[in-house]
Amino acid sequence: MSKILSYEEKDTWIHQLSGVTKLIFFLLWCVVSMMTYDTRILIFMVLFSLVIFKISKTRWEQVGSVFRVIMVFLIFNVVAIFLFSPDQGTRIYGTRTVLFHIAGPYDMTLEQLFYELNVVIKYFTIIPTVFMFLVTTNPSEFAASMNKVGISYNVGYAISIALRYIPDVQGEFTKIKHAQEARGIEMSGKASLLNRIKSTSSIIFPLIFSSMDRIDTVSNAMELRGFGKHKKRTWYMAKKMKKNDYLIIGLTVIFAVAALVFTFADGSRFYNPFI
Amino acid sequence: MEPVIEFKDFSFKYRAQTQPTLRDINLSIMPGEKVLIVGPSGSGKSTLAHCINGLVPFSYPGDMTGTLRVGGKNPADIGLFGVSRIVGTVLQDTDGQFIGLTVAEDLAFSLENNLVPQEEMFAKVDEVAELVDVKKLLENAPRELSGGQKQRVSMGGVMVDDVEILLFDEPLANLDPATGKRAIALIDEIRKNRKSTIIIIEHRLEDALYRDVDRIIVDTVPDELLVTNVLAGQGIREPLYITALKHAGCNILAADRPQHIETMKLDNYKQPLREWFNKAERKKEKNKSVSALKVEDLYFSYVSGRPVLQHIHFDIKKGEMVSIVGKNGAGKSTLSNLICGFYKPGKGRILLNGEDVASLSIKERGEKIGLVMQSPNQMISKPMIYEEVALGLTVRGVPEEEIKERVYETLKICGLYPFRNWPVSALSFGQKKRVSIASILVMNPEVLILDEPTAGQDYRHYTEIMEFLKDINENLGITVIMITHDMHLMLEYTDRAIVIADGNLIADDTPARILTNEIIADKAYLKKTSLYDLAVSCQIDNPSEFVDRFIAYERQQRELRLREKSTKISGF
């Protein structure tokens, strides 16, 4: 089974950074990307995230399938903006340069194209960083980081335990599916969609029941070993903050502030090349 | 000396039940003792364990009377977390107990919860990993470990706490025989090194006795217990060599130390045993010649060049009852997946009644080859028994009338007819197992494959399920194939065993010959049967024949008993 979006141990300085650092970087990066529509900053961010993506030695197989799904969403998004609001660009930039007429109220304008280009670039500023964050951060260390930035360790541990049991549940799912197929419940493309939806119940129920058994055992095992005893807990996988970590956090904060100041200096979040 | 665990006139009733599960328990366990608690399922031995580790009453509430002291303290005062500092529990389900994403994290789990600083944790984890011999596996994820390794991690995970008492809940249930033997040896070592008090709850008595224990609770010294008939009366399997000696009419004395066959004094028993052997009848050879399921040179791999199975070749005859054995991960499940058509073989053929099944879909094969999974919870998808059993027919579009007739008939065979309108949830585990078998039988399969049919069952339920399968096999003529690592099962109920080790078929022979062959037993992580040791020690020159005759005799006895029972029931 391919390990999509899962952590892989590699020796790069990004892997060695503490999860806290990466989490803070990731959050601030997203905030800036969401706030600004300044094309110059966005382009800088795309280039920068491609560079760190490269440095993190992430392989295409780790992220490829998810990337394709995101692309589909991106296309939907872009088309939908145009369908529902074909003059958004004009409203933002104040001019209207018609390239050609399409039909009814729909004109293709340069302003609209530019606006949607900005939307696309925004996607690309975030995608590589998300991937980089997920595949370079050990899940346990991630849980530890969340705890350090003040989120309850229950939340972090819930994520970590989900990751622990996903392969088990997947295995169980395949087993149950096979057994039910042998009993004659068709799951393949041969059956109609409606029938397939109906027959999923014959997998889901056994899966739920056997998972319930598992949950019971796991929660007993956790309690017997003192989980939830104190308000805090320590982490085996926690990484100490090093010089690099403070450096990156510092640079990220400076970048975020600078980018936002630069964006809002003229009183608008948009960069306007049309005036 | 103060006892480390003390029950005084102790009774406990679960909130949801009307009868107390534990009644008037008086039990003291001294520091450093190693105690084995035996009893069939439903006898309350798990409840007793839960009382010791604090799950009762903190996770399973109920009414308690009498007094209980764990480490000199009242569990109710110190709470579940307090008890967990004194008692370390290793659960039966080592998969479920494995919480961390890697071995190291799992070992550290309890330390993390107790706010131990990281540096100290590293040192402690290393120390414990050394102790349970998982040092090389520290970075590994749970799915990369074998059952035995997972169990060692579980042991380490509770030992990091320096607990006084180690409690093992059926440690052998999910392990193959050889791994189980190692686990028992490791427990013994831990006890010697750490002077901990050890409590083992187990119904596989013969295996648990592989190393000395001080006391078995149905309160007696092991040697004395074995000479009595208490065990059989309680639905627990006594060691086979003891049974054999009893069959030979020997009166076993505690003074001869019957706890281990290797060190038992056999002088007085040799003569009667040999006489019995010479008198005992040979096993009747059944002649079966029509091929039901034939596998020819089967090969399968996920990654080319790394075969999971290769050169698999066997021919199972119609009406046979065969076991497929081998250690966890040897390729047994892959084999059943290939037979049922879930995977396609890389090479080779599978023939059903002489015809190649390669062209049949999973569904079509399912009508001829029925697969019953290990846990009924993995199969049951309908709330009502009738619907569940009818499912396979309903989806095949069989007319309503015929469905009803066939379901009722199957329910009668399976002894479930009185429950036909009940919801599945009202049944016991054993009954659910029957429902899952019934839901396959209803399709009139020619071959039935069962994955670990008796896993987690005590002797009484085990016998019930196996007698039922034997019945189906003999009366309906269905060929039964069982995937198992239970040696009693293969020895007692099957005439033939196919042994798979590391993807290769290494033996296809009678169970008696396989379990008396040291090389094969070693390779397949099986264990030689103690009957073999008994025969050798008593200078019987054909040990496998001895085992065969013992089994034949046992079967005869069992049939007599069953017949007696049924005449008692219908005899008025």
Q: What is the pLDDT of residue A188?
A: 67
Task: Tell me the backbone φ, ψ of residue B300, rounded to 5 degrees.
Answer: -150, 140
Regarding whether A164 and A36 lie in a shared domain, the answer is no
Judge: B91–A220 Cβ closer than 8 Å, yes or no: yes
**pLDDT confidence band for B41 (50 / 70 / 90):** low
The number of helices, as runs of H, and strands, as runs of E, in chain A is 10, 2
- CA torsion through residues B340, B341, B347, B350, sign: positive
Closest in A160, A203, A234 to B118, CB measured: A234
Regarding whether A41 and A8 lie in a shared domain, the answer is yes
- The sheet with strand B62-70 has its strands ordered as B22-29, B5-14, B62-70
What rounded mean pLDDT belongs to chain B? 85
In chain A, how many domains are there? 2
Q: What is the pLDDT of residue A4?
A: 62
Q: Which one of A190, A195, A225 makes the best mutation probe of the B interface by having the most chain B beta carbons within 10 Å?
A: A225
Closest in A164, A167, A206 to B378, CB measured: A206
Residue B259 vs residues B226, B252, B484, B534: alpha-carbon distances, Å: 7, 11, 27, 13
Res A265 pLDDT > 90: no
Judge: B380–A224 Cβ closer than 8 Å, yes or no: no
A223 touches chain B (CB under 8 A): yes
Regarding whether A85 and A32 lie in a shared domain, the answer is yes
Domains of chain B, start order: 5-219 (3.40.50.300), 231-279+530-572 (no CATH), 291-529 (3.40.50.300)
A88 touches chain B (CB under 8 A): no
* Mean pLDDT, rounded, for B107-112: 93
Judge: B395–A183 Cβ closer than 8 Å, yes or no: yes
- CA torsion through residues B75, B80, B81, B83, sign: positive
Q: With pLDDT > 90 as the criterion, what percentage of chain B qualifies?
A: 27
**pLDDT confidence band for B286 (50 / 70 / 90):** low
Q: With pLDDT > 70 as the criterion, what percentage of chain B qualifies?
A: 92
Judge: B373–A175 Cβ closer than 8 Å, yes or no: yes
Regarding whether A130 and A37 lie in a shared domain, the answer is yes
Regarding whether A263 and A217 lie in a shared domain, the answer is no
Regarding whether A251 and A120 lie in a shared domain, the answer is yes
**CB neighbour list of residue B236: distance below 8 Å, 6 or more residues apart:** B38, B39, B40, B203, B205, B458, B459
Res B31 pLDDT > 50: yes
Any idea which of A35-49, A216-230, B31-45 has the lowest mean pLDDT? B31-45
The number of helices, as runs of H, and strands, as runs of E, in chain B is 24, 18
What gap in Å lies between CA B36 and CA B27, rounded to an integer? 13
A275 touches chain B (CB under 8 A): no
Q: Per-residue pLDDT tens for B371-390?
A: 998 888 888 888 889 999 99
Q: Per-residue pLDDT tens for B296-324?
A: 999 998 888 888 899 999 999 999 999 99
Res B216 pLDDT > 80: no
Judge: A182–B365 Cβ closer than 8 Å, yes or no: yes
B363 touches chain A (CB under 8 A): yes
B440 touches chain A (CB under 8 A): yes
Q: What is the pLDDT of residue B165?
A: 92
A213 touches chain B (CB under 8 A): yes
Closest in B110, B340, B396 to A225, CB measured: B110
**CB neighbour list of residue A223: distance below 8 Å, 6 or more residues apart:** B55, B58, B59, B80, B84
Nearest-CA distance B232 → chain A (Å):
31
Regarding whether A153 and A49 lie in a shared domain, the answer is no
Judge: A184–B81 Cβ closer than 8 Å, yes or no: no
Res B560 pLDDT > 70: yes
What gap in Å lies between CA B146 and CA B148, rounded to an integer? 5
Any bridge partners for residue B139, and if so which? none
Any idea which of B32-36, B97-101, B322-326, B455-459 has the lowest mean pLDDT? B455-459
Residues of A (141-160) whose Cβ lies below 8 Å from B: 160
CA dihedral B430, B431, B435, B438 (to 10 degrees): 80
Q: With pLDDT > 70 as the criterion, what percentage of chain A qualifies?
A: 97
Q: What is the pLDDT of residue A75?
A: 94
Regarding whether A192 and A121 lie in a shared domain, the answer is no
Regarding whether A53 and A129 lie in a shared domain, the answer is yes
A201: chain B residues, CB-CB within 8 Å: 381
Single out the residue of B251, B247, B241 nearest to residue B276, CA to CA: B247
Q: What is the pLDDT of residue A47?
A: 94
**CB pairs below 8 Å between A and B: how many?**
165
Nearest-CA distance A135 → chain B (Å):
15
A208: chain B residues, CB-CB within 8 Å: none
Q: What is the pLDDT of residue B228?
A: 67
Res A78 pLDDT > 80: yes
* Mean pLDDT, rounded, for A168-182: 85
What gap in Å lies between CA B145 and CA B335, rounded to an integer? 21
Q: What is the pLDDT of residue A3?
A: 59
A172: chain B residues, CB-CB within 8 Å: 378
| Sequence-separated contacts (24+) of B221-229 with Cβ below 8 Å | B221/B254, B222/B36, B222/B259, B223/B254, B223/B255, B223/B257, B223/B258, B223/B259, B224/B254, B226/B252, B226/B254, B226/B258, B226/B259, B227/B252, B227/B253, B227/B254, B227/B258
Regarding whether A64 and A40 lie in a shared domain, the answer is yes
Single out the residue of B355, B484, B373 nearest to residue A181, CA to CA: B373
Nearest-CA distance A77 → chain B (Å):
37
**Structure letter (DSSP) for residue B324:** E
* Mean pLDDT, rounded, for A45-53: 91
Nearest-CA distance B6 → chain A (Å):
20
Regarding whether A152 and A220 lie in a shared domain, the answer is yes
Res B433 pLDDT > 70: yes
Q: Per-residue pLDDT tens for A184-218?
A: 887 766 667 777 777 777 888 888 888 887 888 88
B482 touches chain A (CB under 8 A): no
Judge: A163–B101 Cβ closer than 8 Å, yes or no: yes
**pLDDT confidence band for A74 (50 / 70 / 90):** very high
* Mean pLDDT, rounded, for B41-50: 78
Judge: A183–B443 Cβ closer than 8 Å, yes or no: yes
* Mean pLDDT, rounded, for B200-211: 76
Nearest-CA distance A50 → chain B (Å):
30
Q: Which one of B52, B91, B94, B101 makes the best mutation probe of the A interface by having the most chain A beta carbons within 10 Å?
A: B101
**pLDDT confidence band for B213 (50 / 70 / 90):** low
Res B218 pLDDT > 60: no
Judge: B97–A209 Cβ closer than 8 Å, yes or no: no
A230 touches chain B (CB under 8 A): yes
Nearest-CA distance B99 → chain A (Å):
7
B377: chain A residues, CB-CB within 8 Å: 206, 209-210, 213
- CA torsion through residues B369, B372, B378, B379, sign: positive
Judge: A217–B97 Cβ closer than 8 Å, yes or no: yes
CB distance A207 to A169 below 8 Å = yes
A192 touches chain B (CB under 8 A): no
Closest in A167, A176, A234 to B116, CB measured: A234
Residues of A (159-178) whose Cβ lies below 8 Å from B: 160-161, 163-164, 167-168, 172, 175-176, 178
Chain B residue with CA closest to A214: the answer is: B96
Q: What is the pLDDT of residue B225?
A: 67
Q: What is the pLDDT of residue A2?
A: 43
Res B220 pLDDT > 70: no
- Full residue range of the structural domain in which residue A65 is found: 1-138+239-275
Q: Which one of B52, B163, B338, B395 makes the best mutation probe of the A interface by having the most chain A beta carbons within 10 Å?
A: B395
A169: chain B residues, CB-CB within 8 Å: none
Chain A residue with CA closest to B105: the answer is: A236
Q: Which one of B379, B442, B452 makes the best mutation probe of the A interface by having the most chain A beta carbons within 10 Å?
A: B379
Regarding whether A221 and A150 lie in a shared domain, the answer is yes
* Mean pLDDT, rounded, for A110-118: 92
B395: chain A residues, CB-CB within 8 Å: 183-186, 199
A21 touches chain B (CB under 8 A): no
Closest in A164, A176, A224 to B89, CB measured: A224
**pLDDT confidence band for B572 (50 / 70 / 90):** very low
Q: With pLDDT > 90 as the criterion, what percentage of chain A qualifies?
A: 26
Nearest-CA distance A211 → chain B (Å):
9
What gap in Å lies between CA A37 and CA B320, rounded to an integer? 75
Chain B residue with CA closest to A140: the answer is: B101
